Amino acid sequence: MNSLNLNRLTIKRALELLDEGKISSVELTQACLERIKKIDPEVKAYLYVNEEWALEQARLADEKRKAGEHGKLLGIPLAIKDNILIKGHPTTCASKILQNYIAPYDATVIRKLKKEGAVFLGKTNLDEFAMGSSTENSAFFPTKNPWDLERVPGGSSGGSAVAVACRMGLGALGSDTGGSIRQPACFCGVVGMKPTYSLVSRFGLVAFASSLDQIGPFALNIEDTALLLKVISGHDPYDSTSAPREVPSFTQILQENANTKFRVGIPKEYFEHELHPEVAKNIEEMISLLKRLGHEVKEVSLPHTKYAISVYYIIAPAEAASNLARYDGVKYGLRVEGKSLIEMYKKSRAEGFGREVKRRVMLGTYALSAGYYDAFYLKASKVRTLIKQDFLKAFEEVDLILTPVSPTPAFKLGEKTSDPLQMYLSDIFTIPVNLAGLPGLSLPSGFTRESLPLGVQVIGPHFRDDLVLSLGYQIEKELDLETIPPIVKAL
């Protein structure tokens, strides 16, 4: 096989070729590293690549395979968002305050991936501390969309989405607090999954908003996504919110449900927002597709949707203000000396945090301050419960819900940076899923006239990640889209 095309393999196909002895993990990893050297200077997906370490892991994987050992991801090169800890390697969260921080331990998801033989290529760019929808808030540089270098890749997991879209890794991990896996997956033409809250351990994920954050996979197709999700899921005693549940074989369920007919809800409130004409047309085509496949499609109501953005931007900043209090210049990270302890705190945080992080810390601190807690945080928490109840009620009538991922296709770099509210509204369709703790999937569903990817979102009940993936699998098979960005085709 042409070594230049090895990195275009799906995880499933790569594993078959590795098991057959037709390729080696070293060849596969080398192909990804070569692609990174060629494409990454243009798109800037990676913050850190360790070529020597990646090849060392690949050589070890080849030796294990020869010795008869098998891991679910043995020898598969992956990219990891730089807010997930890998022991002995940098974890910056794309922030100056953690610029020289080296992780002292592995995140649970990393331990699970290591156990199954995955190869780590490096760490990917993100909005600082995962706060953003465009990967423009990175303290180091913005990441660019491989379909149009003048556009954003989405955020905050933009680097991971671009790494997979550009075949600079066969899969990737990101984190999703309000759409940070699904929106960049949509903008970059790949699959992205936000699992049910508590299905995947958050231990070793640098916290932004602890009641909303979830780690999830990016991949080229649903089968690879299902495999990655299976590996990283499961109960973890190090995470007090982790659910003590058996994890099903998601890949096996895809085949079992290949012809299952579902009741699919279309929330009328999601169409009361201004949709880009091509997004609206695409979602109508997806509804027609579901009907053609024999699924029952009906309208459902999620009446509290209109409050989701307001609720999110009280709860998430409040939790962020609490979580980010630890970055004070004392124990780790950036330290700027001052004449007093308070001055040292002020200078370290003023220089270490970017504008968006400061904005959210101030919003959160205000919402939690004496006299305002009841008016803001407590009320937001109550409305969050109503949003969750809306979904629970809808799922009494339907098995799954279908929505757009974003109101628009990928927007231009710099287009929304001066208007935070417009940027926040990019996540109007993804945020309710995090507030309710539900599983949500973004999968490619077509293109605009300008050849920009479009995506559709499948939402399921708690712990029915299997059903979400199953419907996604049916749609994917029917569409059979080729999603190779121009920059990849050119090389």
pLDDT at residue 420, rounded to an integer: 79
pLDDT at residue 274, rounded to an integer: 84
pLDDT per residue as tens digits for the range 197-250? 999 999 999 999 999 999 999 999 999 999 999 999 999 999 999 999 999 999
Among 73, 97, 162, 176, residue whose Cα is nearest residue 125? 162
Q: How many angstroms separate the CA atoms of 259 and 183, rounded?
A: 28
Confidence band, pLDDT 50/70/90 cuts, at residue 113? very high
Phi, psi of 134 (to 5 degrees): -150, -5
Task: Tell the residue number behind the tokens 């001066």, with chain if given.
Answer: 418
User: Looking at residue 454, what DSSP letter applies?
Assistant: E
Q: What pTM did the predictor assign?
A: 0.96
Peptide bond into 156 cis (omega under 30): yes
Q: Which two tokens stand for residue 31?
A: 């192909």
Question: Quick check: helix, strand or coil at residue 441?
Answer: strand
Phi, psi of 119 (to 5 degrees): -110, 130
Q: How many angstroms separate the CA atoms of 360 and 127, rounded?
A: 13
Q: How many angstroms separate the CA atoms of 10 and 224, rounded?
A: 7
pLDDT at 491 over 80: no
Question: Quick check: helix, strand or coil at residue 145?
Answer: strand
User: Looking at residue 81, what DSSP letter applies?
Assistant: E
Question: Which residues are marked as active site?
Answer: 81, 156, 180
The residue ranking higher by pLDDT, 216 or 426, is 216
Average pLDDT value for residue range 427-440: 97
pLDDT at residue 328, rounded to an integer: 92
User: Looking at residue 412, what DSSP letter applies?
Assistant: B
pLDDT per residue as tens digits for the range 122-150? 999 999 999 999 999 999 999 999 999 99
pLDDT at 2 over 80: no
pLDDT at 5 over 90: no
Torsion sign across C-alpha atoms 173, 176, 181, 187: negative
Q: What contacts 24+ positions apart, CB below 8 Å, involve 16-23?
A: 18/65, 18/74, 18/75, 19/65
pLDDT at 338 over 80: yes
Domain at 3-265+398-489: CATH code: 3.90.1300.10
Pairing relationship of beta strands 46-49 and 119-124 according to DSSP bridges: antiparallel
pLDDT per residue as tens digits for the range 287-296? 999 999 999 9
pLDDT at residue 417, rounded to an integer: 83
- Angle between helical axes of 355-368 and 308-323 (0-180°, round to 10): 100
pLDDT at 68 over 70: yes
pLDDT at residue 233, rounded to an integer: 98
Among 161, 157, 182, 155, residue whose Cα is nearest residue 438? 182
Task: Tell the residue number behind the tokens 């699924």, with chain if given.
Answer: 295
Task: Tell the residue number behind the tokens 């992956």, with chain if given.
Answer: 78
pLDDT at 86 over 90: yes
Confidence band, pLDDT 50/70/90 cuts, at residue 350? very high
Measured between its terminal Cα atoms, the distance across the chain in Å is 17
Average pLDDT value for residue range 169-195: 98
pLDDT at residue 317, rounded to an integer: 96
Among 469, 466, 455, 464, residue whose Cα is nearest residue 437? 464
Is 231 in contact with 215 (CB distance < 8 Å)?
no
pLDDT per residue as tens digits for the range 35-65? 999 999 999 999 999 999 999 999 999 999 9
pLDDT at residue 419, rounded to an integer: 82
pLDDT at 97 over 60: yes
Is 202 in contact with 173 (CB distance < 8 Å)?
no
Pairing relationship of beta strands 453-459 and 171-176 according to DSSP bridges: unpaired
Average pLDDT value for residue range 412-441: 91
**What does the domain layout of the chain look like in residue ranges?**
3-265+398-489
pLDDT at residue 490, rounded to an integer: 78
pLDDT at residue 429, rounded to an integer: 96
pLDDT at residue 134, rounded to an integer: 96
pLDDT at 352 over 70: yes
Confidence band, pLDDT 50/70/90 cuts, at residue 3? low
Confidence band, pLDDT 50/70/90 cuts, at residue 432? very high
Mean pLDDT (the chain, rounded)? 96
Question: Quick check: helix, strand or coil at residue 303?
Answer: helix
Cα 104 to the center of its chain, rounded Å: 24
Confidence band, pLDDT 50/70/90 cuts, at residue 421? confident
